[in-house]
């Protein structure tokens, strides 16, 4: 028996609404629903629910990062919530497999009835992209799809555009890391000297092994030297940013690199986990785009999408262009062996304490 004051499972989850929210277009058009359209609707609804949860987590992460100071407990929470986003994304990548049990011929049975509705109109997906920091130009580009959205959805995207994205919040957090202005230890200088020592050692080694030299090792050495020369030249770095080849501010990049190099130190472990989650999120989103584009090719070949895009070709073009934290991935190019790392002075470690914020009072 149910008591009116007690929470009731069915009502709590609003199952009356959710379980009656599958309305196949094929039933409206042909009087009888095509069997596979139910799957198509349910899977999209499941995606949208998870998108909602991801936005919920990312909103809270962005709020935490917007605070003027970020203490260990706050970073810990951010890492935990980003970890949740990662797990959801893994599920989203897997879910595509369920849809693959529908054949292209089955899809053809009802596809026409869906035009002009399309994943293009997934406002929550666009919000996720914007929250992470994928260029908002795409989201509000008038010609692409924006005009086909309902005015309330256009407004949601325009509102979101005025709020800082995760990328810019992370960049600001990195820039205010006290290590960059510490008197006890100048990371950039120490790192630069360590790199120079390492490259000199490699050059000597190459000379000693002259008879064994293979062209690949020489090429590797030359490429490393050129890479580091560009890294230590702020103007060259800025030029890469201007050309869209780098996104992270020069100082923020240095802070991120310091975290990557000293990840084994307890002090940097949590910040490292934080940055790693961001890379994971970026890579899993790229993975989703990839499995989605493969599904599209399998289902509709090179037909135009129901949203009017070039379909497969359009989606393929978003694979690389939509990544946000590529700069963090690319930091691997700048890593040096642990044995070559400058030792962190005690005074520096205690100066940093447990607060990754502006200077301590």
Question: Contact positions toward ligand HEM, by CB under 6 A?
Answer: 43-44, 47, 99, 107, 118-120, 122, 125, 292, 295-296, 299-300, 305-309, 311, 314-315, 318
Nearest-approach distance from CB 288 to ligand HEM, in angstroms: 9
Nearest-approach distance from CB 296 to ligand HEM, in angstroms: 4
Q: What is the DSSP letter of 115?
A: T
| Helix/strand/coil for 74 | helix
Nearer to ligand HEM, 125 or 268 (CB): 125
Q: What is the 3-state secondary structure (H, E, C) of 158-170?
A: HHHHCCCCHHHHH
Nearer to ligand HEM, 100 or 360 (CB): 100
Q: Which residues contact 41 (CB under 8 A, 6 or more apart)?
A: 22, 23, 24
**Gap between the Cα atoms of 210 and 325, Å rounded:** 40
Largest CA distance in the chain: 88
**Gap between the Cα atoms of 123 and 119, Å rounded:** 9
Nearer to ligand HEM, 240 or 291 (CB): 291
Nearest-approach distance from CB 116 to ligand HEM, in angstroms: 8
Nearer to ligand HEM, 182 or 287 (CB): 287
* Cβ atoms of 331 and 260 closer than 8 Å: yes
CA Rg value for the chain:
25
DSSP per-residue codes, 268-329: HHHHHHHHHHHHHHHHHHHHHHHHHHHHHHHHHTTPPPTTSS-THHHHHHHHHHT-S-HHHH
* Cβ atoms of 256 and 275 closer than 8 Å: yes
C-alpha distances out from residue 210 to 97, 216, 217, 224, 333, Å = 53, 13, 11, 19, 26
Nearest-approach distance from CB 171 to ligand HEM, in angstroms: 24
| Helix/strand/coil for 71 | strand
Nearer to ligand HEM, 176 or 289 (CB): 289
Nearest-approach distance from CB 62 to ligand HEM, in angstroms: 21
**Gap between the Cα atoms of 212 and 113, Å rounded:** 67
Nearest-approach distance from CB 45 to ligand HEM, in angstroms: 9
Nearest-approach distance from CB 274 to ligand HEM, in angstroms: 26
Nearer to ligand HEM, 81 or 289 (CB): 289
Nearer to ligand HEM, 102 or 267 (CB): 102
Nearer to ligand HEM, 43 or 240 (CB): 43
**Gap between the Cα atoms of 135 and 126, Å rounded:** 10
């Amino acid at each position: 028996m149910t008591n009116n004051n007690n929470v009731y499972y069915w009502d709590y989850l609003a199952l009356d609404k959710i379980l009656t929210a599958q309305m196949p277009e094929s039933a409206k058009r042909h009087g009888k629903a095509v069997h596979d359209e139910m799957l198509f609707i349910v899977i999209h609804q499941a995606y949208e629910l998870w998108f909602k949860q991801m936005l919920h987590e990312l909103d809270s992460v962005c709020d935490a990062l917007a605070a003027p100071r970020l203490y260990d407990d706050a970073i810990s929470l951010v890492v935990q919530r980003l970890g949740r986003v990662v797990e959801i994304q893994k599920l989203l990548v897997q879910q595509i497999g369920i849809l693959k049990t529908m054949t292209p011929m089955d899809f053809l049975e009802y596809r026409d009835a869906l035009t002009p509705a399309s994943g293009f109109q997934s406002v929550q997906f666009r919000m996720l992209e914007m929250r992470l920091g994928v260029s908002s130009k795409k989201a509000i580009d008038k010609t692409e799809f924006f005009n086909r959205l309902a005015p309330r959805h256009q407004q949601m995207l325009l509102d979101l555009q005025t709020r800082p994205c995760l990328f810019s919040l992370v960049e600001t957090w990195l820039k205010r890391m006290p290590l960059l202005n510490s008197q006890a230890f100048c990371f950039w200088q120490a790192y630069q000297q360590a790199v120079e020592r390492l490259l000199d050692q490699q050059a000597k080694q190459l000379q000693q092994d002259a008879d064994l030299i293979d062209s690949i090792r020489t090429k590797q050495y030359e490429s490393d030297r050129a890479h580091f020369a560009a890294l230590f030249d702020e103007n060259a770095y800025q030029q890469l940013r201007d050309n869209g080849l780098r996104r992270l501010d020069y100082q923020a990049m240095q802070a991120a690199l310091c975290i990557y190099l000293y990840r084994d130190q307890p002090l940097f472990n949590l910040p490292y986990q934080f940055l790693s989650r961001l890379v994971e999120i970026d890579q899993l989103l790229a993975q989703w785009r990839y499995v989605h584009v493969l599904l599209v090719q399998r289902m509709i070949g090179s037909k135009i999408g129901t949203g009017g895009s070039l379909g497969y070709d359009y989606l393929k073009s978003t694979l690389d262009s939509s990544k946000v934290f590529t700069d963090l991935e690319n930091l691997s190019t700048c890593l040096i062996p642990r044995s070559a790392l400058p030792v962190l002075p005690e005074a520096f470690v205690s100066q940093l304490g447990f607060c990754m914020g502006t200077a301590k009072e």
